Amino acid sequence: MSGRRLPRLAHMSGPSAAVERLQPFGATIFAEMTALALERGAVNLGQGFPDWDGPAAMLEVARGQISTGNNQYPPVRGAAELRQAICEDRARNFDVEYDPGTEALVTTGATEAIAATILGLVEPGSEVILIEPYYDSYAAAVALAGSTRVTVPLVPDGTGFALDVDALRSAVSEKTAMIVVNSPHNPTGTIFGLAELSAIAELAVERDLLVLADEVYERLTFGLVHIPIATLPGMASRTVTVSSAGKTFNVTGWKVGWALASQTLLDGVLAAKQFLTFSGGAPFQPAVAHALRHEQAWVTDLVADLQRKRDLLTHALEGAGLSPFRTEGTYFVCARVDQDALSYCRALPASRGVAAIPVTVFTDHPEPWREIVRFAFCKTDEVLAEGIRRLT
Ligand SMILES: *Cc1c(COP(=O)(O)O)cnc(C)c1O
């Protein structure tokens, strides 16, 4: 259960001068697969970013901001209009209130919010529980904080994956400080329902744990509703919720994210964040505020589009003789390939002209995931159709 093994993220070209606690985190599999994809002219269904633009009016606001001189440091907490828009958006979508003055913090992507939450709130020597497979930055942030990760696996539930609540309960020790909960979940597309979230929440209350809720895919759900764990009983005061404009508005390169929490917790996040970047993305912040306020219809269309792409890719994977799992949100569908996933993914760019990611790279305990591959469907219809043509 404990995560003392090295993650399978390291594919380094040579020795690195990195400090010991960062030695396990070499160049990621994404770099290797993207290089292979480029070399082979493969369709890249490995990396999870959309290859088309976000709402035109939002892009126009950013251009206007640059032209009219919004190019210096924004406030450390982020532009007031963006914090206001974030809190209004949360209230509208999930019926939960945050004070934009004290309970919302704009960050350099969700990635900084995650790092600042762990660095600012978890003491060295504590344990942080990650649900595997997990997003790679969690493990690195835990290592940077001098704490230890303990992993609990998702388990197959027939057509998809579910949380092993008993395993989670037994993973909590005297040293546990925090549980990281990512729903909708990258890489499996699992959305935790009320039962699973309630089980996590009850455990957090009972054992007095913090929860870091990574909700960057909060809007990218196909039918099921996303429930923020912060809205469950006892959770408002112990949850830091993290999200980002990148996935909602097709601007992963803008790196405008945020953290929402009670003032006490958020002050801890802010204490770390101010010395990581202080602030950033000045011209993009008003553009994201615009999008949160005026581009809800665009997001609705995006979600319908992604759902259609999910169906296309899932169907194609079946047609290619693979066994895709159910995916309820995000950009991804996982499939069983009936052979070693890492070798499969290393060979795929040459054999089929497609790149994908073995799920084992997101785990400390790869065995149950040995034959599972993640494919991204957040690609234009042309790119996706070409990928599908090559796979089938
Ligand atoms: C993309 C992603 C992030 C990072 O978000 P940024 O805003 O690009 O920093 C964090 N968590 C998950 C699960 C993601 O997929």
Q: What are the tens digits of pLDDT across the range 121-164?
A: 999 999 999 999 999 999 999 999 999 999 999 999 989 999 99
Residue 247 confidence (pLDDT):
98
Confidence of residue 119 (pLDDT cuts 50, 70, 90): very high
Q: Which residues contact 203 (CB under 8 A, 6 or more apart)?
A: 168, 169, 172, 179, 209
Give the CA distances from residue 158 to residues 163, 325, 326, 341, in Å, rounded to whole numbers and listed in that order: 13, 9, 9, 20
The average pLDDT across 32-47 equals 91
Residue 16 confidence (pLDDT):
82
Q: How many whole angstroms separate alpha carbon 272 and alpha carbon 38?
A: 37
Is residue 249 lining ligand 1, measured as CB closer than 6 Å? no
Q: Which residues contact 161 (CB under 8 A, 6 or more apart)?
A: 154, 155, 185, 188, 190, 325
Confidence of residue 26 (pLDDT cuts 50, 70, 90): confident
Q: How many whole angstroms separate alpha carbon 123 and alpha carbon 132?
A: 22
Confidence of residue 28 (pLDDT cuts 50, 70, 90): confident
User: 57 pLDDT exceeds 80?
Assistant: yes
Q: What stretches of 216-351 adopt beta strand conformation (E)?
A: 239-244, 256-260, 323-324, 332-336
Is residue 244 lining ligand 1, measured as CB closer than 6 Å? yes
Per-residue pLDDT tens digits for 187-230: 999 999 999 999 999 999 999 999 999 999 999 999 999 999 99
CA 184, chain centre distance (Å): 8
Q: Are 234 and 210 contacting, i.e. CB atoms less than 8 angstroms apart? A: no
Is residue 214 lining ligand 1, measured as CB closer than 6 Å? yes
DSSP for residue 221: B
| Kind and range of the H or E run holding 30 | helix 29-40
Structure tokens at 264: 């006490």
Q: How many whole angstroms separate alpha carbon 262 and alpha carbon 244?
A: 18
Say how many Å lie between the CA of residue 116 and the centre of ligand 1. Answer: 14
Per-residue pLDDT tens digits for 253-264: 999 999 999 999
Say how many Å lie between the CA of residue 106 and the centre of ligand 1. Answer: 14
Say how many Å lie between the CA of residue 319 and the centre of ligand 1. Answer: 30
Helix 263-276 / helix 109-121 crossing angle, nearest 10 deg: 110
Q: How many whole angstroms separate alpha carbon 181 and alpha carbon 76?
A: 26
Is residue 110 lining ligand 1, measured as CB closer than 6 Å? yes
Give the CA distances from residue 161 to residues 153, 175, 188, in Å, rounded to whole numbers and listed in that order: 10, 28, 7
Site to probe by mutation for ligand 1, drawn from 107, 186, 242, 276 as the one with most ligand atoms within 8 Å of Cβ, is: 186
Residue 328 β-bridge partners:
none
CA angle 251, 128, 181 (to 5 degrees): 45
Outline which parts of the chain fall under CATH 3.90.1150.10.
20-53+296-391
The average pLDDT across 287-303 equals 98
**In 3-state terms, what secondary structure has residue 241?**
strand
**In 3-state terms, what secondary structure has residue 215?**
coil
Residue 34 confidence (pLDDT):
86
Give the CA distances from residue 28 to residues 25, 132, 186, 196, 261, in Å, rounded to whole numbers and listed in that order: 8, 17, 16, 31, 31
Is residue 182 lining ligand 1, measured as CB closer than 6 Å? yes
Query: What's the full length of the chain, in residues?
Result: 392
CATH architecture of 57-65+72-294: 3-Layer(aba) Sandwich (3.40)
Residue type, 272: A
Sign for the pseudo-dihedral over CA of 96, 100, 102, 107: positive
Atom 15 of ligand 1, residue of closest alpha carbon: 186
Say how many Å lie between the CA of residue 162 and the centre of ligand 1. Answer: 21
Predicted structure pTM score = 0.96
Say how many Å lie between the CA of residue 330 and the centre of ligand 1. Answer: 11
Say how many Å lie between the CA of residue 72 and the centre of ligand 1. Answer: 25
Q: Which fold has domain 20-53+296-391?
A: Aspartate Aminotransferase, domain 1 (3.90.1150)
User: 7 pLDDT exceeds 70?
Assistant: no
Site to probe by mutation for ligand 1, drawn from 186, 191, 216, 250 as the one with most ligand atoms within 8 Å of Cβ, is: 216
| Count of helix runs (H) and strand runs (E) in the chain | 13, 14
Say how many Å lie between the CA of residue 192 and the centre of ligand 1. Answer: 18
DSSP letters for 35-72: HHHHHHT-EE-SS---SS---HHHHHHHHHHHHTT--S
Is residue 135 lining ligand 1, measured as CB closer than 6 Å? yes
Q: Which of 218, 201, 151, 190 is nearest to 365 (CA)?
A: 151
Ligand 1 atom with minimal separation from the 114 CA: 10
Outline which parts of the chain fall under CATH 3.40.640.10.
57-65+72-294
Residue 11 confidence (pLDDT):
46
Residue 67 confidence (pLDDT):
98
Lowest mean pLDDT among 25-29, 118-122, 155-159, 316-320: 25-29
Say how many Å lie between the CA of residue 351 and the centre of ligand 1. Answer: 30
Is residue 257 lining ligand 1, measured as CB closer than 6 Å? yes
User: 12 pLDDT exceeds 60?
Assistant: no
Per-residue pLDDT tens digits for 370-381: 999 999 999 999
